[in-house]
Amino acid sequence: MNIRFHRQKKSKQDHIGVSRRMFLMTTAMAGVTTSAMLGSATRSLAAPLDAGQDATLLRMVQDIYPHPDLLEVSHYEGIAATVTTNTEADAATAKDLRDGLARIDAQADALFGMPYTEIEDPDAREGVLRKFQHDGFFQGVRWTAYFAIYNNVDVWPLFGYQGSSVEHGGYIDRGFSDITFVPQGPTLEERMAAVKG
Amino acid sequence: MTVFEKTDDSVVVIIGSGAGGGTVANELAKKGIKSVVLEAGKRLDSSDMENDEWTMFQKISWLDKRYSAGGWHGSVNHPTLPAWIVKGYGGSTVHWAGVALRFKEFEFKTRSTYGAVEGANVEDWPVSLEEMTPWYEKAEMKMGVTGKTTGMPHLPWNNGFRVLAEGCRRTGRTDYNSGPMAINSVENDDRPACQQIGFCMQGCAIGAKWSTMVTELPRAEESGLCEIRTDAMALKIEHDASGKVTGVLYADAEGNQHLQKARVVCVAGNSIESPRLLLNSASEMFPDGLANSSGQVGKNYMCHTSTGIYAVMPEKVHMFRGTSVAGIVGDDVKHEPARGFNGGYYLEFLSLGLPFMGAFLEPGNTGWGRSFSRAMEQYDHMSGVWALGEDLAQEQNGVTLHGSEVDQHGLPVPIVAKTPHNNDHAMTAHMVESTSQIYESVGATDIYELPPYPASHNMGTNRMHADADKGVVNAYGQSHDIDNLFVSDGSQFTSSGACNPTLTIVALAIRQAEYIAQEMNAQNI
Ligand SMILES: Cc1cc2nc3c(=O)[nH]c(=O)nc-3n(C[C@H](O)[C@H](O)[C@H](O)COP(=O)(O)OP(=O)(O)OC[C@H]3O[C@@H](n4cnc5c(N)ncnc54)[C@H](O)[C@@H]3O)c2cc1C
Ligand code: SF4
């Protein structure tokens, strides 16, 4: 992704506090076998974490796809919980996640002299994570978060995406051509005339 | 449904049921010629089409093992998915978007127009636009393409295209419209008009979009002259001592192998599987693979020079509402060497749903973080294009067989290698610049340039050439080496042109069916 003319807004304070509703995530989706599309990283997740690592994982998930103005912290808690649940079956990779989270904290300590979760600047936290982005544990967390956010029908409305339309007769009577900041397209008569003769 | 004996050696065996194979089957049936279609994928119909990007990707894509190699984006971003192709009844016409453009005259004559291009293997087609025009017209009638041939109006303009069109108007462009599309703007051919459902690339749930799944294949079957065997993966084409092909060995769903005898064989498995099958059919008599005396089988792989570009507009656009490719800009389809590259390109409005935007905005391991997430939050303000242009053939770009790894049928896994030519880099820069100017003129605030998607247009790996030393097939798709072996899909293309390939594949297939019928009647094959 090359960005031109990108005007980055200042981020608002991340949402904190109690969840308004339980995060509905289809765990089935998170395990979807899209490895062909999604590249080479192998999934490698771990067994239950200690409290400190729980916090690191939650912060990590928030920093991977930060949508503080759109998503509640509870959304991210749901994702972190899914990550941990997914690892329970697989002891071999459990260690991978624990080790990975430990390396994130070690990197934060080396650069900033504090645990990752205590770094205030979100760009600095992202910088810490970038070092690990090609690792299996990181991509496992990342794709779980991807499916839970961008492939989640409950989240779509927050991004203005309406999804499936066939059951509503399509968008033909539901705003497929409703914007007003550019001119209308040609009428049926004009379109008919254009293909005659 | 008609069933032919496996020992029946009077049938034409067609491998693949997509744009090329499905069309040949129906055209042959109309001429009273019997055929058996072997389709590796399963049976599909409109009721299988769901409005969900990942669900449909899982359901219909070709996911057998493949590798990307070479210097292109695919090696990094899509290492096991070089191309995005359907495996099923209807082939990639199930999820194609419906853009139905003709080649320009100069695009059939690239060698004569561009001259010899260093590092590229540019040649002329053995056919011209003049020769192809009546076949294009037949294809447009068959497919119900909006425009002058059918008299069907182009589709109504949706939000996303209206933004692009206004930018085109403001920047002095003149060639932009919501067609030609093989999507019904009015009821036609027993299929309904488009309901602006969106999700064209997940398969049209109502059959407004042409596909061999809804037209050619069921009609061929109804004729009683065509049997379509799904879950039938062709493994090897067999031949006799004279070198004529005699039948096709295939595996059924349970992995049992069968031999279907044939009078003629048409290969239409799309540009990766077709050369793979010819290479896998190597024998003592043809040690380099069937039809490969030129050494060009599997070479010259082209997939269009392309990039996705999304602009963030000052107001909401909701680009996902309605036809996925809702408009086409053709002003840059010309050969103008002063631009610094050969050939031209189209800009086609293309909507992605939120899930695919999240996967393709920045594919690979790096697509996350603050700027990525910020871009995703602008999703409902976006309009964008898929820019696609002429991809120069290069001999080293192509399909080869893995030395040790095999698929579930025991066949060597294909490796699809591609390295861009400098022409691609120069053209891509031009595409991004013109698209940016168009959207900026309507007030775009941010512009995102995406790396190419997994290849959706695959061409050239069994190229046509008048000269048997330089190409695999002649102007009718008939192999130079073996008279009763034909290639019926996009792998015949000598050059890629700028436009989407399917109308040309269908036009060539109609023409080929006529030629096959003539040659069979004359007892030449
Ligand atoms: C998302 C998307 C959008 C597209 N939009 C457009 C568009 O708007 N306009 C356009 O012109 N083109 C478009 N295309 C491209 C178009 O779909 C293809 O160019 C066209 O379908 C290719 O036709 P084909 O006959 O070569 O192969 P296909 O249509 O892919 O058919 C090949 C068939 O052969 C089968 N097969 C392969 N190997 C074997 C074997 N060994 N044995 C048995 N069966 C086998 C496959 O399962 C498949 O069903 C699009 C493609 C994609 C991915
Ligand atoms: S937008 Fe039209 S063509 Fe596309 S899937 Fe919907 S009805 Fe079919």
Q: Which residue has the higher pLDDT, A13 or B249?
A: B249
The answer to whether residue A110 scores a pLDDT higher than 70 is yes
Q: Is the pLDDT of residue A29 over 50?
A: no
- What is the nearest CA distance from A67 to chain B, expressed in angstroms? 7
Decide whether any atom of ligand 1 lies within 6 Å of the B502 Cβ. Answer: yes
What contacts A10, CB < 8 A, 6 or more positions away? none
Are A188 and B146 a contacting pair at CB < 8 A? Answer: no
Q: Which residues pair with B308 in a beta bridge?
A: B386, B450
Measure the CA–CA gap between B84 and B71, rounded to whole angstroms.
19
Contact B152, A195 (CB under 8 A): yes
- pLDDT of amino acid A10: 39
- Helix (H), strand (E) counts: chain A: 8, 1
Determine what percent of chain A is predicted with pLDDT higher than 90.
Answer: 67
Least Cα distance to B319 among B387, B384, B386 occurs for B384
Report whether B235 contacts B249 (CB < 8 A): yes
Instruction: Share the mean pLDDT of chain B.
Output: 97
Residue that wins the pLDDT comparison between A90 and B54:
B54
Concatenated DSSP letters of B456-524: S--B-TT-B-SSTTT-SB-TTSBBSS-TTEEE-SGGG-SS--SS-SHHHHHHHHHHHHHHHHHHHHTT-
The owner of tokens 């019904």 is B184
Nearest CA to ligand 2 atom 7: B194
Rounded CA-CA distance B301/B120 in Å is 11
| Ligand whose nearest atom lies closest to the CA of B267 | 1
pLDDT in the model for residue A4:
62
Instruction: Identify the helix (H) or strand (E) that includes residue B167.
Output: helix B159-170
At how many degrees (to 10) do helices A91-112 and A136-150 cross?
A: 100
ipTM associated with this complex: 0.92
Instruction: Yes or no: say if B437 and B257 are a contact pair by the CB < 8 Å rule.
Output: no
B407 domain-assigned: yes
CATH code of the domain containing B340 = 3.50.50.60
SS (H, E, C) A167-192: HHCCCCCCCCCCCCCCCCCCCHHHHH
Does B183 contact ligand 2 (Cβ within 6 A)?
A: yes
Q: What's the pLDDT at A1?
A: 64
3-state secondary structure of B184: coil
Q: Is the pLDDT of residue B220 over 70?
A: yes
* Residue B5 maps to a domain: no
CB atoms within 10 A of CB B58: 15
Residue B4 within a domain: no
Residue of B nearest to A169 (CA): B195
Is B143 among the domain residues? yes
CB atoms within 10 A of CB A94: 19
How many domains, in total, are found in chain B?
A: 1
Question: Is the confidence at residue B231, as pLDDT, over 90?
Answer: yes
Rounded distance between C-alpha atoms, residue B205 and residue B217, angstroms: 17
Q: B88 - beta bridge partners? A: B42
Sign of the dihedral defined by the CA atoms of residues A53, A55, A56, A58, in that order: positive
Range of the domain at B45: 12-521
Please identify which residue in the block is written with the tokens 């980055």. Answer: A8
Residue type, A90: D
Q: Whose CA is nearest to atom 3 of ligand 2?
A: B209
Express each pLDDT in A54-74 by its tens digit: 999 999 999 999 999 999 999
Contact B152 A195 (CB under 8 A): yes
Q: Are B380 and A164 within 8 A, CB to CB? A: no
Q: Which of B334, B326, B324, B366 is nearest to B451 (CA)?
A: B366
Q: Name every residue whose Cβ is closer than 8 Å to that of residue B134 and which is 6 or more positions away in sequence.
A: none
Alpha helices by DSSP H, B8-154 = 19-30, 53-60, 73-77, 105-108, 110-114, 129-143
The ranges assigned to domains in chain A are 18-159, 167-196
pTM above 0.90, yes or no: yes
Per CB-CB distance under 8 Å, the chain A contacts of B52 are 163-164
Residue-level pLDDT at B426:
97
CB contacts of B148 in chain A (<8 Å) are 195-197
A170 alpha carbon, closest ligand? 2
CA distances from B401 to A41, B68, B275, B405 (A): 24, 12, 10, 9
Q: Which pLDDT score is estimated for A45?
A: 42
C-alpha to C-alpha distance for B275 and B473, rounded to whole angstroms? 12
User: Could you give the CA distance from residue A191 to residue A196 in angstroms, rounded to a whole number?
Assistant: 9
Q: What secondary structure does DSSP assign to B378-401, as a single string?
A: TGGGEEEEEEEE-----TTSEEEE
B180 upstream amide cis, omega within 30 of 0: yes
- Closest approach of A58 to chain B, Cα-based (Å): 14
**A32: pLDDT strictly greater than 50:** no
How far is residue B291's CA from residue B267's CA, in Å, rounded to a whole number?
11
Is residue B69 within a helix (H) or strand (E), and if so which, with residue range? strand B67-69
Site to probe by mutation for ligand 2, drawn from B146, B195, B325 as the one with most ligand atoms within 8 Å of Cβ, is B195
Ligand 1 atom with minimal separation from the B348 CA:
8
- B402 assigned to some structural domain: yes
Query: What's the whole-number average pLDDT of chain A?
Result: 81
Per-residue confidence (pLDDT) for residue A8, from 0 to 100: 37
